[in-house]
Amino acid sequence: MTDKTLFEPYTLGSLTLSNRIIMAPLTRNRAGAGLVPSEFAATYYSQRASAGLIIAEATQISPQAQGYQDTPGIYTQAQIDGWRKVTDAVHARGGKIFLQMWHVGRVANVAVQPGGAMPVAPSAIRAATKTFVNNGFADVSEPRALELDELPGIVNDFRQAAANAIAAGFDGVEIHGANGYLLDQFLKDGANIRTDAYGGSVQNRARLTLEVTQAIIEEIGAERTGIRISPVSPANGVSSSDPQSQFNYLVEKLDALGIVYLHVVEGATGGPRDVAPFDFDALRQRFKNTYIANNGYNLDLATSRLNEGKADLFAFGHMFIANPDLVERLKSGAPLATLDKATLYGGGTAGYIDYPALVELNAD
């Protein structure tokens, strides 16, 4: 039997992906007026359409869900129309694309909240982190705890955002349950000290994430619904006293719902994979559908993990920014271009759509 490679097709629900390489969601802070995707977003994403699947940047489900400046939304018709240009461009080049939907919760500054309101959170605990506002990084603001009767509205915002994403032409959606944002805040007891049905026990802390997932499935179907989690990542100041129990339970319940994939940040987001003890294989064993592995992967590590049966698909992040043709470069062994960190967040076309593909370099 020959070894598997990242460059073979893969069936994801009803989709056939051209390879096992996933473009991870990457915040770029370039949305235009009305938080509509940038006029250059269609070019940016279509340049990267050779990925087996693109997961588009985190996109807020409501005005309250925003935490950073110039991040796109998916709750107005203008935003839906803006995203339609992106999905049409990606599909025209044979690509597949999901939308990552987020609510940042407490990771927000009043500067981007409607009417300068306090950010919301499971509990009134300020996050030890910063956010990108007014063209620079600033401390997040003090949050207020969500009232029990507000939570159905949050669930409905996710449901409606999923419907809007499909209307915009996306092949599916990814629920952002990772990196210290709202759903992750509910999951982790360092941020969630509630004493009602959404706090305390492992089951209660998972309740909101499962309700959101169920609502989206009812709206667009399980085969178009994925989720991203980060069990031990300390991103945005979250912590958990017993992540293994929490995420084993969550994944068992997600598996029962039949969602198409589980996207797991293994370790600290953008940092060490061994930041804390955790058995990621236990999650893999509890989830029968597609497992997407994320964090610190290169071609060799991904190929090894694939052939060990540890994951099905592999997400690459920053590599895709400077290498729009990352799949071709990995396959051919061509050198990778270097990311210009100065143009990562905000700005215009520089550092966004001007990284050349190999074919352009060779033409020169």
- Positions marked active-site: 181
Residue 350 contacts residue 329 (beta carbons within 8 Å) = no
- φ/ψ of 196, rounded to 5, equals -100, -160
221: left (phi over 0), alpha (psi -120 to 50) or beta: left
Q: How far apart are the first and last CA of the chain?
A: 42
CA 180 to chain centre: 12
Say whether 314 sits in a helix, a strand or coil.
Answer: strand
Q: How many DSSP H helices and E strands does the chain contain?
A: 11, 14
Q: Can you tell me the distance from the alpha carbon of 132 to that of 18, in angstroms, rounded to the nearest whole number? A: 35
- φ/ψ of 264, rounded to 5, equals -115, 125
DSSP annotation string for 170-219: -SEEEEEE-TTSHHHHHH-TTT----STTSSSHHHHHHHHHHHHHHHHHH
Q: Strand 225-229 and strand 261-265: pairing?
A: parallel
